[in-house]
A and B are shown apart, each in its own frame.
Chain A
Amino acid sequence: MNRKKLQKLTDTLTKNCKHFNKFEVNCLIRLFYNLVGGVERQGLIIGLDRNAFRNILHVTFGMTDDMIMDRVFRAFDKDNDGCVNVSEWVHGLSLFLRGSLEEKMKYCFEVFDLNGDGFISKEEMFHMLKNSLLKQPTEEDPDEGIKDLVEITLKKMDHDHDGKLSFADYELAVRKETLLLEAFGPCLPDPKVLIARWNLKLKYSKIQMNSMICEYLNVYIVSKRSWMYIEKSLKLLDFL
């Protein structure tokens, strides 16, 4: 991509993005195209498809739950075209890495509301929690525990007692107890600090380099330093 185009894209995206500055947006754009492995040509939409994106989620952000990862992809893919394009990428990461509590609540609720009807129903909860308990062979009904857990969750979060969670219910509960933000499964970057041993050596392949850069995205508070590394390595990639 030529410099002018990149500059322009950076400017437009920076305008719409509240959490990243120009430099950071620039880095992310370059990272995106490195990951995708090409730039848009006339009339050709290019982006990360579901599998590529899920791979990133898994490797970079430590997510494991297939269903949740699918839902995260959906949440990223605003236009529902089956792939995450560059602007969705920057927007999504802005929320992912720097989002305020409000934004994150909205996003999480969207992820958990599997059928998108504006409510998290008991069934949806059951679906999301079904793997959360260790199956005990002695239990007569292995689902009993999950059902009970769903009831507990409802009791905790369903303030209007209508048997399902509205966004208002969810918001109230999360504001009271932030831990409930990801109540039904991890859908945000794991707040574990990933201290990557960054060693810029040319022997890394392009793909390795990309994944290393991605890893850096998850250094918990995305610090100035980590952006500098990203920038440095992207330069190196450009050079390659």
Chain B
Amino acid sequence: MGLALAKLAQWTAAGHGAGTLEITPLNEAILKEIITFVESFIYKYPQEAKFVFVEPLEWNTSLAPSEFESGYVVSETTVKSEEVDKNGQPLLFLSVPQIKIRSFGQLSRLLFIAKTAKLKEAQACVEANRDPIVKILGSDYNTMKEDSIALNILDKITRDDDPEREIKKKIAMLLKQLDRHLLNHSLKHISLEISLNPMTVKKDIELLKRFSGKGDQTVLESIEYTSDYEFSNGCRAPPWRQIHGEMCYVLVKPHDGETLCVTCSAGGVFLNGGKTDDEEDINYERKGSIYKDLVTFLREKSPQFLENMSKQGISFNEEQQKEKDPLSEAPKKDEAAAFHKDISGSDKRSLEKNQINFGRNQMTKRLEPSLNWKTTVNYKQSKGSVKEIQEDKHTGKLEKTRLSVSLGRAQLRRKSAEKIEEIISDSSSESEEDEEPPDHRQEANADLPSEYWQIQKLVKYLKGGNQTATVIALCSMRDFNLAQETCQLAIRDVGGLEVLINLLETDEVKCKIGSLKILKEISHNPQIRRNIVDLGGLPIMVNILDSPHKSLKCLAAETIANVAKFTRARRVVRQYGGITKLVALLDCAHDSTEPAQLSLYEARDVEVARCGALALWSCSKSHANKEAMRKAGGFPLLAQLLKTPHENMLIPVVGTLQECASEENYRAAIKAGRIIESLVKNLSSQNEQLQEHCAMAIYQCAEDEETRDLVRLHGGLKPLASLLNKTDNKERLAAVTGAIWKCSISKENVTKFREYKAIETLVGLLTDQPEEVLVNVVGALGECCQELENRVIIRKCGGIQPLVNLLVGINQALLVNVTKVVGACAVEPESMMIIDRLDGVRLLWSLLKNPHPDVKASAAWALCPCIENAKDAGEMVRSFVGGLELIVNLLKSDNKEVLASVCAAITNIAKDRENLAVITDHGVVPLLSKLANTNNNKLRHHLAEAISRCCMWGRNRVAFGEHKAVAPLVRYLKSSDTNVHRATAQALYQLSEDADNCITMHENGAVKLLLDMVGSPDQDLQEAAAGCISNIRRLALATEKARYT
């Protein structure tokens, strides 16, 4: 009781002193509960009712002595009870206006006497006795210790030798019970009253969570709840805080500033006292002003949040929009159901419901402004709500019911409330489904097509017909153009999907077949797919896969193939064991034993396997499903099916393999399982789709060297090369060029391709092709270009021009490939002339500004041969305004590949003394020196070269020493890479011209390392090492000489 009172009751003054209880419905309810408890006490627990309180409960009563009757000694201003304690003191003593009561019995009686003034008396009593339990049971039973009270009490009691122990214990238990009862009771009240809905808060937080994380782009660094436990009403705050309207506490870490501990309450969002030292608890006190929601709060607290939010605004809004969208997804069945309830349900209940809904509506209205920062959304929303109303009208007509106006309104209200619920329930699951398109409906003002009404009628017969009528309705429904979106949506909107899915659960084969035939068609629509999953259709279809009816299996598998086009669906299929069952369908080994006579509704095993493969194809787009498929033994079956001659079977099989080939496990299996052979064979098939998937599968697998060799050994290169000439089907072309690209990583394959004149064809494909083809074509050329002969071919076929033209593109993968080819071609002086003439170097140079590091690096690598081979390279480089500064600044990058490539470019640039002077002015020395501490051998190699080149100017040698580049360089000599050794030795040789550097080298033990290098078979290395040693030695001699003279 004490706890409930202390925590729950809404005191006017915050807590202390003689506060009075506010007259609120909640308080009233609590008091009433207490009254019923006390009143019934005397009957229920007569023994305990006689127990004498340790201290009397005292308060000022409004009862007059005259109101007391038998059992009391009444005088004019006093009343004493006849009942006395063992010391002869009366248990009730009233001297106007103060009253003292010392037992539950007397309390009960008093309440009886008070009659109508009960509530007032109870209130006065509670107000005057802020801690009744202490008074009743003694100070040992202080209830304010929250959680542990029960234990405390029991503890005390067991230790007590009090003769009244038992009774005390009982009373303590009773009070505890009452306490809990009151807490629960008031919680019920609160969840009805709450104004900022916990769901909306939750949604807000989830949304923010999605946009939080590391990096500058996110709106927050982190946001999390303090408590993982969520109560059934959606709150996370402990119950005694919930009555203050608090729902949850959130720890928010913005990018700029300390972690904020925030209270989300019904009244708004505010900063609280933060976590207290003992982990578990939070200082609930408010520490700042109240904001209307979390977002407003954060915008106020964190400027960074505000800024990033406006950046994210668009995507965030999209997200919002997506979540809002189901608003327009009016579930008509719900409405119909609600309508029936309306009529049949008792008035009282519906009234209640409406009240609740009304409240909810208000909530969402309050929430809206916070969620939308862009006016466009508001606009859309208002449009949405207009639509809603219009739709309501439609459905009103649909139901063919005579709606009274008021009922209609109630319905509208309920409907929108239901929608809101739907949004809430959707929001969590939708987060991971990026691929799902937003649900859009046909314009509400557009007249519903006639099909709509016909379909509605058919669905009615589906619902109310026996097997025969159902089959007729199903067949008739199939006559509609189910590929048309209006029909698909019409079926859904009149509640047909539920019925169709329901039919799948019957044991009428014909109905199931008919239903699946329709589902198969309409599931081409992404929205319908989602609806099917939402209605739980997938588990049922997965079960049908076990059916002995082959045509049923086929249809179910085909429908699954259509539905499982998005992540959530695929996950459901897996979770219900669908993958294993689908894999089982593939097993059509008993093909030969098939009876000659096919029964009426039967299909062939081959067909079953085909459908299974189709479904697996769809499912195999998820990583976990690939794994599940492998575990279910899918691979050997697929491999076996690959040997069939049926083209329509091969397509899904190869498609599945191609999807799976992204997994290392599968690639290994493909290599081992003689799959490549079949793939190559099918490349020569007549079916374009099959060719495409085979090429795609080869593309996926050919990352592996052995596989590339296998493709060649099975004669796959020739068909690939010949398919290059068929450019009409772009998807196939992309797959084929991709396969060629990956295959040409092997030199032997390149030679073959040259034989087949594939390189010429590839050059021809450099123009007028979609990007995905171009990426692959250029990639393939890039691999081919590694050989001189091929570079000549490219030049002779006029490939340089289109390649240089491609340098202005924006596709990152394409740019990486193109720069590679251009770089490779630039090795050849003649090609270089063409590139130079076409201003290709400038284009390459400008790619250094590309935001993507891969492109930057690739461009820088390509620049190296250009500068090396261009005539008058120094002049050319200088002619790029700001070009040298740009490249020097790239040394500040943190991408190792970029750094290495830029170092290489700088090495080439520095060959020109004038340019070297310029880059020295741009501060190349300190930048290079800063990079010296690296473990990356590639970077070390190019860095050392760059350093050795840059030493050639002015006092750069000294500068490198000053910037502490020498010591790390010495360490490079310990690396395992001879390229690094050579470059380093050369750099050290250059640096050793400076005496201070020699000393540093010597100190770092360079001499011994260099001595080893002198013994290297690499001549350049020998020479540089020897030169360096001689410089060091010369210095030493000079010093000695100086000392002795």
Q: Chain A interface (Cβ within 8 Å of chain B)? A: 19, 98, 100-101, 104, 128-129, 131-134, 136, 145, 148-149, 152-153, 155-156, 177-186, 188, 191-193, 220-221
Contact = CB atoms under 8 A, between A and B. Distances in A.
B599 interface: yes
B63 interface: no
A101 B600 contact: yes
B465 interface: yes
B597 A136 contact: no
Contact of A181 (B549, B600, B602): B600
Contacts of A131: 466
Contact of B471 (A133, A180, A193): A180
B468 A129 contact: yes
Contacts of B476: 152-153, 155-156
B469 interface: yes
Contacts of B797: none
B464 A134 contact: yes
Given A133-B465, A155-B476, A183 B471 contact: yes
21 contacts: A101-B600, A129-B468, A131-B466, A132-B466, A134-B464, A134-B466, A136-B464, A145-B461, A149-B472, A149-B473, A156-B472, A156-B476, A178-B600, A179-B471, A179-B514, A183-B472, A183-B475, A186-B468, A191-B600, A192-B509, A221-B599
Contacts of B461: 133, 145, 148-149, 152
A128 B469 CA distance: 10
B507 A192 contact: yes
**3 residue pairs, one from A and one from B, having the closest CB atoms:** A132-B469, A134-B464, A132-B468
Given A148-B457, A182-B510, A156 B474 contact: no
A180 B600 contact: no
Given A156-B479, A182-B471, 8 more contacts: A101-B600, A131-B466, A133-B465, A145-B464, A149-B465, A152-B458, A152-B461, A186-B468
Chain B interface main SS type: helix
B601 interface: yes
A182 B468 contact: yes
Given A133-B461, A133-B464, A179-B510, A19 B597 contact: yes
A184 B472 CA distance: 8
B472 A221 contact: no
Given A104-B600, A149-B461, A186 B475 contact: no
A191 B468 contact: no
B595 A221 contact: yes
B62 to A, nearest CB: 61
B480 to A, nearest CB: 11
B457 A191 contact: no
Contacts of A183: 468, 471-472, 475
B478 interface: yes
Interface in B578-624: 595, 597, 599-602
B548 interface: yes
Contacts of B702: none
Nearest to A184: B468
Interface in B246-272: none
Contact of B548 (A148, A153, A179, A193): A193
Interface string B187-208: 0000000000000000000000
Given A152-B472, A177-B475, A220-B599, A191 B466 contact: no
A132 B471 CA distance: 11
Contacts of A221: 595, 599, 602
B513 interface: yes
B965 to A, nearest CB: 83
A180 B469 CA distance: 11
A88 to B, nearest CB: 22
Nearest to A148: B457
Given A152-B472, A155-B476, A156-B472, A178 B601 contact: yes
Nearest to A190: B509
A191 to B, nearest CB: 5
Contacts of B460: 145
A100 B479 CA distance: 26
Interface string B393-408: 0000000000000000
Contacts of A185: 468
Interface in B500-558: 507, 509-510, 513-514, 548-549
A99 to B, nearest CB: 9
- Indicate the member of B461, B469, B474 with the most A CB atoms within 10 Å: B469
Contacts of A149: 461, 465, 469, 472-473
Interface-centre pick from A132, A136, A181 (highest chain B CB count, 10 A): A132
Contacts of B479: 156
B599 A191 contact: yes
A77 to B, nearest CB: 23
A104 B548 CA distance: 22
Contacts of A180: 471-472, 475
B32 to A, nearest CB: 46
A129 B469 contact: yes
Contacts of A153: 472, 476
Contacts of A136: 464
B467 interface: yes
B428 to A, nearest CB: 39
B475 A179 contact: yes
Given A149-B472, A183-B471, A191-B509, A177 B478 contact: yes
A134 B465 contact: yes
B1003 to A, nearest CB: 90
A48 B479 CA distance: 43
A155 B514 CA distance: 18
B186 to A, nearest CB: 46
A134 B473 CA distance: 14
Contacts of A132: 465-466, 468-469
Contacts of B509: 191-192
B487 to A, nearest CB: 16
Contacts of B474: 179
A207 B882 CA distance: 105
Contacts of B595: 221
Nearest to B517: A179
Nearest to B478: A177
A145 to B, nearest CB: 7
Contact of B513 (A179, A182, A184, A192): A179
A133 B601 contact: no
A153 B595 CA distance: 34
Nearest to A156: B476
Contacts of A177: 475, 478
A19 B601 CA distance: 18
A63 to B, nearest CB: 12
Interface in B978-1008: none
Nearest to A152: B476
A189 B325 CA distance: 49
Contact of B466 (A19, A98, A133): A133
B1000 to A, nearest CB: 89
Contact of B469 (A101, A104, A133): A133
Contact of B549 (A133, A145, A191): A191
A174 to B, nearest CB: 10
A32 B423 CA distance: 65
Nearest to A132: B469
A14 to B, nearest CB: 17
Nearest to A151: B476
A184 B466 CA distance: 11
A61 B695 CA distance: 53
A37 B162 CA distance: 93
A180 B478 CA distance: 12
A101 B602 CA distance: 12
Which residue, B468, B471, B476, B507, has most C-beta atoms of chain A within 10 A? B468
B544 to A, nearest CB: 14
A136 B464 CA distance: 9
A217 to B, nearest CB: 14
A183 B510 CA distance: 11
Nearest to B510: A179
Contacts of A184: 468
